[in-house]
Amino acid sequence: MTDQIKLLAAVLLVVAGVAGFYLLADSLLAVRVLVVLAGVAGAGFVAWKTAPGQQFEGFARDSVKEARKVVWPTRKETLQTTGIVFAFVVVMAILMWVVDASLLTAVKWLMGRSDS
């Protein structure tokens, strides 16, 4: 029950931040944005103190550990893969253009509207 109250308080903090943004319409934009950020930060802190927040923190820590285990490609491998993808896109674009032009010519011929 306390977690639900904390989560409700977190939602209310976000709502208060957004409401403050509109209530301070005559203030500087930076102040209005800071009010929203303060509401979101407060909501995050309150939500972090709940059981789901603690579970999320554990999940985030495990995710970082797993991401560090990944063998990332080297710069050379990344450039080669990017080049292959770029070449494939160019070839497919040319192929699609040829098919489109062929179909356009065929439809014009079938309708008796040749350009010559």
- Give the pLDDT means over successive 10-residue stretches in the chain (116 positions): 89 94 91 94 92 92 93 95 98 98 93 73
Other CB atoms within a 10 A radius of the CB of residue 10 amount to 22
The pTM of this model reads 0.54
Residues 78 and 64 in one domain: no
- The reported pLDDT for the residue numbered 19 is 94
Task: Domain of residue 86: give its range.
Answer: 73-116
Residues 83 and 60 in one domain: no
pLDDT of residue 3: 86
Predicted pLDDT of residue 100: 98
Domain co-membership, 56 together with 93 = no
Domain count across the chain? 2
Do residues 29 and 65 share a domain?
A: yes
Give pLDDT, residue 114: 67
**What's the token pair of residue 60?**
């985030």
Whether residues 91 and 114 fall in one domain: yes
The pLDDT value given to residue 1: 81
Are both 60 and 85 inside the same structural domain? Answer: no
Query: Are both 61 and 77 inside the same structural domain?
Result: no
Helical H segments across 24-74, by residue range: 29-48, 51-69
Residues 29-43: b if buried by 16+ CB within 10 A, e if exposed? eeebebbbeebeebb
Pair 63, 115 in one domain: no
Which pLDDT belongs to residue 116?
A: 53
Distance separating alpha carbons of residues 85 and 81, to the nearest angstrom: 6
